Structure 1
Amino acid sequence: MNRQYDLDWIRVAATVAVFVFHCTMFANAFPWHVKNNELNSGWVFSLSLLLSTWLMPIFFAISGISVRYALERKTVRNYITERLTRLGIPLLLGIWILSPPQVYIERISYEQFNGSFLDFIPHYVDGLYLGIGGSGNFAFVGLHLWYLLVLLVFSILTLPLFRFIQHLTIKPVYYYFLPIPLVLLSTINIVDLGSWDIFFYVVIFIYGYYFFHGNVFQTMIQKTFWIHLLIGVSTSIIYTSWFIINIPEVGTTAFYLFKSIRGLSCWSSLITIFYLGHRYLRRSNHTLAYTSEAAMPVYILHQPVIVIIGFFIKDLSWSVEWKLTFLFATCFSLVLLLYHVLIRPFNVMRFLFGLKQKPSIHKGLPVKETSR
């Protein structure tokens, strides 16, 4: 099968966008693990809102597509084993190694704990961590690594459904009705993860598996690109402006309209991104080969590094713009350095961060016979 390099490029770009998003969380008005001494309710806040409309949904869409291709070349047993290893091991790493410093910094920042990190370690298992500023400390979902846990659960629980629908054929006209369930689901909030409900994510994941991978979908987005671009831009502006001016009261007609606009913005943004990727990013190069492999470790490491560096600069007298520039440049460089020096060359570290093992330099070479 020909690899879809556009999906690799989109995944890399989304990983950088997550990096940017969590840097903005340091200085916007939303609660987070550590906050700057000066918050920005203008462009930083608006950028956070715009990124949040499509950022995590695009990861679940690409993951659904990846599952489709994985099941076409692997047995179910190998597929489940790979998922447990490449998602479960990094999740455990996040829960036990990367989360404690972040929870400690949050408790210090919110004046919920007084003492050193070593003093805090025995208290890490005190109660379940359920949100910013809560009383529990044990981050059982790995904080920002909740995505790995949810993806692991989705990957296994949807297997029977995927095996059932993989050979079903749906008329192309039905593709135009795909946004309706997403718009409806955008109005509910049963289990909020990354500002979207978990049922919204599972539908996006299923869409990725069944709809987003094929030629019918590519034909549809080519025909409707300009419409979706217009809808995506307009709804994003409306949603962001409405959010900043005044969020409607929960349960009102205005509230459901507000949420529906966000769902439509997400859908149109996804279509726009997939179209642009398919048209302009279908080639590979050395940069993609390096960054596509680095995406997973960067995703795993980025938030702990941002939280730690942010903690040390939050009370400095620098401007918000300068702090965010410094935070992004420093943390991004540090994470890439950690990947290149400590993770990429060593198979043990690659295993912990969900990467395939580095092939031996002798693998595939003919065995030279020795003379007697």
Structure 2
Amino acid sequence: MTLTTDKRRYDLDWLRTLVFGLLILYHIGMYYVADWGWHIKSDTTSTVLQNLMILTNQWRMSLLFFISAMALALAQQRSSRLKLFGLRSNRLLIPLLCGMFIVVVPQVYYEALSQQLIEPGFINFWWQYINPNTDLLPGHHSPIGLLTWNHLWFLPYLWCYSVLVLLAAPLLNALAKLLQPLPASIALLLVMASLICAWFFLRQAYPSSHALVDDWYNHAKYLLVFIAGYLFALQGNWWQLVIAQRRWLMLAAMLCYSLIIADRNGLFDSLPASFGESVSGRLIVGVVLALNHWGWIFALIGYAGRYLNRPTNALDKNGSLLHYCNNAILPWYMLHQTLIVVFAVWLKALALPVAIEAVLLITLTCAGCWLGFEVVKRFWLSRWLFGLKVTLPTLTTANRPMQNNTP
């Protein structure tokens, strides 16, 4: 039995929503872990939380790229490439500029303030932030001054990959037809081998920067994932096999995650240091990381395809929740990290017990995102700035300007 790909895939909508929800919790967790740098830090940190976050940080963003590519491949069956280019440009680039000039500014402000690099005064800071020739924080400048996209790095990467894939769509569509007889197991080995090569040759030389222009390891990984997602969406037999084998894929992913956590907690410290630096040692690590990466992606695609590919279910009897999520997901994504930083600064001053603080931080962040979306969706300008569909106001008889009939 093959899986049809010409209908709307509700499982992709649900999975995208769930992964973005996980992203919000992940960024809240970044406030409470010690080993990973972030904008501000709690005085209380947790190694257990960090180990739990490692569960997702190998594949979380890759899954979003994979789903976005699948959606692009399916949309191309109904829309022209030019129309899709316009839609993705409007939905990604305009929110990116809005985010850089407005949304992420408090993140930079409170980070610099916490490090005592600036004096209090948000408005004065914002004027310096948008000035490409500013002398403020010289050690933090990019080619465009202090302007940054911070957590919104996903938007320019996704736009670039979408443009590349749309340009290469005729070749990729032809390749998809050639790959139809290829067993899914061989396809899995190919994408794993590609990721292993990227990790082996690029990971140390080009550590993750999210700066777009020099982030070659991330490009090798995420562009591969994006192309794989595009091709995968066009292979109904692969999709069906992933759904059928979801349990085995989840088992492989959990095993690899366990090995990664065991290594981080010193279980393999008895091995000689030369082993980890050897070609064979690095290849073994690469295989574990690649299988962990792709195992989670395909397992979650499989479980979503099995249980979530329906417009209505117990969570959404009238389709309203999924409809809300599809519209709210981009504004929530844009707003959430700034709200986390702002609320964390406020809560830190109260010196609450960490459990109470964490619950309040989650609650306030979600409430702020909900309220922000409620405001954004009500005005055409804010809808445009946050990537929502826009219907421009039309002139009625009451507000149409008077005609000047003077000769």
Q: TM-score range by the shorter chain?
A: 0.7 to 0.9
Question: In the alignment, which of 192, 197, 208 is matched to residue 192 of structure 1?
Answer: 208
Structure 1: where are the runs of 5+ without partners? 362-372
CA distances 1:247-277 after superposition (whole Å, capped 9, x unpaired) = 9989714455435422221100011100110
CA distance 1:240–1:122, change in 2 (3 Å): same
Return the index of the structure with the highest Cα Rg.
2
1:156 counterpart = 2:172: no
Deviation at 1:360, TM superposition (A): 8.8
Deviation at 1:87, TM superposition (A): 0.4
Deviation at 1:160, TM superposition (A): 3.0
Separation in structure 2 between the aligned mates of residue 109 and residue 246 of structure 1, nearest angstrom: 37
**What SS does the aligned partner of 1:23 have?**
helix
Partner of 2:242: 221
Partner of 2:403: none
Moved over 6 A (4+): 246-251
Question: In the alignment, which of 120, 144, 151 is matched to residue 144 of structure 1?
Answer: 151
CA distances 1:307-345 after superposition (whole Å, capped 9, x unpaired) = 1111112244323332222111111111112112x1223
> Are 1:186 and 1:197, in contact at CA under 8 Å, matched by a contact in 2?
no
Separation in structure 1 between the aligned mates of residue 120 and residue 386 of structure 2, nearest angstrom: 31
Could you tell me which amino acid in structure 2 is paired with residue 172 of structure 1? L
Separation in structure 2 between the aligned mates of residue 353 and residue 76 of structure 1, nearest angstrom: 23
Partner of 2:370: 336
Partner of 1:31: 37
> Are 2:11 and 2:304, in contact at CA under 8 Å, matched by a contact in 1?
yes
Deviation at 1:145, TM superposition (A): 0.6
Deviation at 1:25, TM superposition (A): 0.4
Deviation at 1:167, TM superposition (A): 2.6
CA distances 1:43-90 after superposition (whole Å, capped 9, x unpaired) = x21122112122101110011111112322222322222222110000
Separation in structure 2 between the aligned mates of residue 283 and residue 82 of structure 1, nearest angstrom: 25
Separation in structure 1 between the aligned mates of residue 99 and residue 208 of structure 2, nearest angstrom: 20
Separation in structure 2 between the aligned mates of residue 19 and residue 247 of structure 1, nearest angstrom: 32
TM-score (normalizing by structure 1): 0.87
CA distance 1:287–1:258, change in 2 (3 Å): same
Question: In the alignment, which of 274, 277, 280 is matched to residue 252 of structure 1?
Answer: 277
TM-score (normalizing by structure 2): 0.80
Deviation at 1:163, TM superposition (A): 1.9
Question: In the alignment, which of 11, 16, 22 is matched to residue 11 of structure 1?
Answer: 16
Partner of 1:370: none
Greater mean alpha carbon deviation, residues 326-335 or residues 114-123? 114-123
Partner of 1:175: 187
CA distance 1:359–1:287, change in 2 (3 Å): farther
> Are 2:33 and 2:45, in contact at CA under 8 Å, matched by a contact in 1?
yes
CA distances 1:79-131 after superposition (whole Å, capped 9, x unpaired) = 22222211000000011001221111111112222332223223325779xxx
**What SS does the aligned partner of 1:186 have?**
helix
> Are 1:345 and 1:358, in contact at CA under 8 Å, matched by a contact in 2?
no
Could you tell me which amino acid in structure 2 is paired with residue 162 of structure 1? A
Separation in structure 2 between the aligned mates of residue 126 and residue 260 of structure 1, nearest angstrom: 46
Deviation at 1:139, TM superposition (A): 5.4
Structure 2: where are the runs of 5+ without partners? 1-5, 312-318, 395-407
Could you tell me which amino acid in structure 2 is paired with residue 184 of structure 1? C
Separation in structure 2 between the aligned mates of residue 151 and residue 259 of structure 1, nearest angstrom: 25
Question: In the alignment, which of 346, 352, 355 is matched to residue 388 of structure 2?
Answer: 355
CA distance 1:152–1:158, change in 2 (3 Å): same
> Are 1:37 and 1:315, in contact at CA under 8 Å, matched by a contact in 2?
no
Separation in structure 2 between the aligned mates of residue 68 and residue 273 of structure 1, nearest angstrom: 19
> Are 1:343 and 1:349, in contact at CA under 8 Å, matched by a contact in 2?
yes
Separation in structure 1 between the aligned mates of residue 284 and residue 94 of structure 2, nearest angstrom: 41
CA distance 1:134–1:10, change in 2 (3 Å): farther
Question: In the alignment, which of 52, 56, 61 is matched to residue 61 of structure 2?
Answer: 56
Separation in structure 1 between the aligned mates of residue 234 and residue 260 of structure 2, nearest angstrom: 29
Could you tell me which amino acid in structure 1 is paired with residue 161 of structure 2? F
Task: Say how many residue pairs are matched.
Answer: 357
CA RMSD of aligned residues (A): 2.9
Greater mean alpha carbon deviation, residues 258-267 or residues 291-300? 258-267
Greater mean alpha carbon deviation, residues 223-232 or residues 26-35? 223-232
Greater mean alpha carbon deviation, residues 169-178 or residues 88-97? 169-178
Separation in structure 1 between the aligned mates of residue 56 and residue 381 of structure 2, nearest angstrom: 34
Task: Report percent identity of matched pairs.
Answer: 25
CA distance 1:236–1:112, change in 2 (3 Å): same
1:101 counterpart = 2:125: no
Separation in structure 2 between the aligned mates of residue 139 and residue 276 of structure 1, nearest angstrom: 42
